[in-house]
Structure 1
Amino acid sequence: MHRTRFDEERHLSPIQPLTERQGQYLEALASHAQVIVLGPAGTGKTFIAGTRAADQLRQRRIAKVVITRPNVPSGRSLGFFPGTLEEKIAPWVAPLTEAMKERMGQAAFEIALKTGDIEIVPFEVMRGRTFKNCLVILDEAQNTTTAEIKMFLTRIGDDCQVIINGDVSQTDLRETSGLRTVIHLVKSRMMPIPVVEFTRDDIVRSGICAEWVKAFEETNL
């Protein structure tokens, strides 16, 4: 792995859970190669994933961090947008990268991105890739089809940790979400993959955020 001046890093305390389910999430990340985390916005699931990735990279426990997500919300292929593939997808993964920057520091993050220790990969170019000795985060997984998430899960090589992050109630697909299919397979086949399910009671972002989630859920919007 390229040196990214982590020797100059700040001394940071381990992540402390704010809720019981955050504690379960952190325990799952510490003990399993693959973790599925579900729930509404504001529960900390993306922040914890980004912070975990930053810590693993800073401590040189992995060679790189790979971040990806499906491109459904734009309604168009990334080819319609200007810039490199990395520049096109960057706004969509900002919650994850901002968490990493906060943990690592802006300069260390930018160096790691430049040297390839952090890689932002558009989901539409994942086919044919194999990932080894890295931490891979699939964000907004509810917007993958079954075929797409199957493709993703069969790209994972040795010494990888995979975090699959999503909210099945917020899919933009007209067909069955691949994330929902994966959850069914894990539970029905009793696969050794923890599924951590946050609820609106776990929202830590703000009181008003929790109120909005509750309002939309209770009116089925």
Structure 2
Amino acid sequence: MTERIIELTEIDPNDFFGARNSTITQLKTYFPKIKIVARGNKLKIYGESDLLDEFEKRIEMLIKYFNKYNKLDDNIIERLVTSTGKEEETRKSTGKGDDILVHGVSGKQIKPQTANQRKMVSLMQKNDMLFAVGPAGTGKTYTAVALAVKALKEKDVRRIILTRPAVESGENLGFLPGDLKEKLDPYMQPLYDALRDMIPHEKLESHIEKGIIQIAPLAFMRGRTLDNAFVILDEAQNTTHNQMKMFLTRMGKHAKFIITGDPGQIDLPRKQVSGLKASLLTLKDIDGIAQVFLDDKDVVRHKLVRKIITAYKSIETE
């Protein structure tokens, strides 16, 4: 009898093994001649070599599936453990699911919902920098984060960097209580929310701890070269001309930049020109830089949000 150890890396063993080791229990029914013991993030297996080879092959399929879709259930385990592999080849050849950007927590399918969100995806395949401009609720930030997570999962980049200008509504960060992280977290919350939708909690915390995912205010970008990274500048309407220029010139080799913003929600002091507005005009004809303008038709929040945006637009254009 042979003993082997399979170590689970980059996935949460508790989620993979399931409640009360339900995954292991099910595997035992398909491999009755193999003794399977789960300890921490390791599987110890005992049996004949040819059976262990087959078991390792099936475990690898399950890990790959879990890594991509963030879920396992009895039907999936049965399908992958008993499949010949032809089903997956058929799915790939038919192109089924091509519009899915990533599978989020619990296998949630995350994909563009509107024409302009699909345009964002298409333009990022052809360009290294994209300006996505539109009102709140149009999914521009969420789609941008999904594109970044997809690029990281597919190893097109080594890290994700998310940033925002720390412009407060009448408050000065220096007078707020708490350390720097506590002060900044409320302004970065929408970015955290999007990431939590797409990456399991423990993996997200690990990525942040290792610097694979970085979330920081725009001022922290100064002096850096952002290479091999997918970088998103959110709320870009609140950048000054100099801040925007500083940010755009941080772009390093093998980097992708998405700049999102809503020119209708500028919180800068009066008479100060938005860096977003200026850059849209200045950079509009440069190859490799694309622009997409989302509108009320792209709103994916509550149906009232679209009506609110339309109502305000009619007042502002009078």
TM-score (norm. length: structure 2) = 0.63
What per-residue deviation string (whole Å, max 9, x for no partner) do you get for residues 102-157 of structure 1? Answer: 11122211111111111112112221111110111100000001011001111111
Shift of 1:81: 3.3
Higher relative contact order structure (alpha carbons within 8 Å, sequence separation ≥ 6): 1
Within the alignment, does 1:183 sit opposite 2:241 as a pair? no
Q: Which moved more, 1:42-51 or 1:83-92?
A: 83-92
Write the distance in 2 (CA, Å) between the matches of 1:102 and 1:89: 20
Aligned 8 A contact 1:86 1:120 in 2:
no
The higher radius of gyration belongs to 2
Pairs within 5 Å for 1:24-35: 24-35=119-130
Aligned 8 A contact 1:70 1:144 in 2:
yes
Shift of 1:67: 0.8
Write the distance in 2 (CA, Å) between the matches of 1:77 and 1:128: 24
Shift of 1:95: 1.8
Pairs within 5 Å for 1:62-73: 62-73=157-168
Within the alignment, does 1:220 sit opposite 2:305 as a pair? no
Shift of 1:87: 3.6
**1:97 corresponds to:** 192
Write the distance in 2 (CA, Å) between the matches of 1:78 and 1:120: 17
Closer, same or farther in 2 for the Cα pair 1:75/1:68, shift >3 Å?
A: farther
Higher strand fraction (1 or 2): 2
**2:266 corresponds to:** 171
Q: Which moved more, 1:15-24 or 1:86-95?
A: 86-95
Aligned 8 A contact 1:85 1:122 in 2:
no
**2:69 corresponds to:** 11
**2:294 corresponds to:** 198
Write the distance in 2 (CA, Å) between the matches of 1:198 and 1:26: 13
Write the distance in 2 (CA, Å) between the matches of 1:143 and 1:92: 13
Shift of 1:76: 4.4
Write the distance in 2 (CA, Å) between the matches of 1:86 and 1:181: 31
Letter in 2 for 1:212: I
Letter in 2 for 1:92: Y
Write the distance in 2 (CA, Å) between the matches of 1:157 and 1:169: 30
Write the distance in 2 (CA, Å) between the matches of 1:181 and 1:149: 9
Shift of 1:52: 1.5
Write the distance in 2 (CA, Å) between the matches of 1:140 and 1:83: 24
Q: Which moved more, 1:42-51 or 1:82-91?
A: 82-91
Aligned 8 A contact 1:37 1:163 in 2:
yes
Shift of 1:9: 2.2
Closer, same or farther in 2 for the Cα pair 1:220/1:182, shift >3 Å?
A: same
Aligned-residue Cα RMSD (Å) equals 2.1
Closer, same or farther in 2 for the Cα pair 1:4/1:87, shift >3 Å?
A: farther
Closer, same or farther in 2 for the Cα pair 1:18/1:147, shift >3 Å?
A: same
Q: Helix, strand or coil for the counterpart of 2:189?
A: helix
Q: Which one of 138, 141, 144 corresponds to residue 43 of structure 1?
A: 138
Aligned 8 A contact 1:71 1:77 in 2:
no
Q: What is the aligned-residue identity percentage?
A: 36
Closer, same or farther in 2 for the Cα pair 1:191/1:185, shift >3 Å?
A: farther
Q: Which one of 290, 294, 307 corresponds to residue 211 of structure 1?
A: 307
Q: Which one of 213, 222, 225 corresponds to residue 130 of structure 1?
A: 225
Q: Helix, strand or coil for the counterpart of 1:120?
A: strand
Aligned 8 A contact 1:142 1:178 in 2:
yes
Aligned 8 A contact 2:128 2:288 in 1:
no
Closer, same or farther in 2 for the Cα pair 1:121/1:185, shift >3 Å?
A: same
Shift of 1:206: 2.1
**2:41 corresponds to:** none
What per-residue deviation string (whole Å, max 9, x for no partner) do you get for residues 62-112 of structure 1? Answer: 111111111113444533334443443222122222112111122211111
Q: Which one of 166, 171, 175 corresponds to residue 80 of structure 1?
A: 175
Q: Which moved more, 1:128-137 or 1:6-15?
A: 6-15
Q: Which runs of 5+ in 2 are unaligned?
A: 1-8, 13-62, 71-96, 102-110
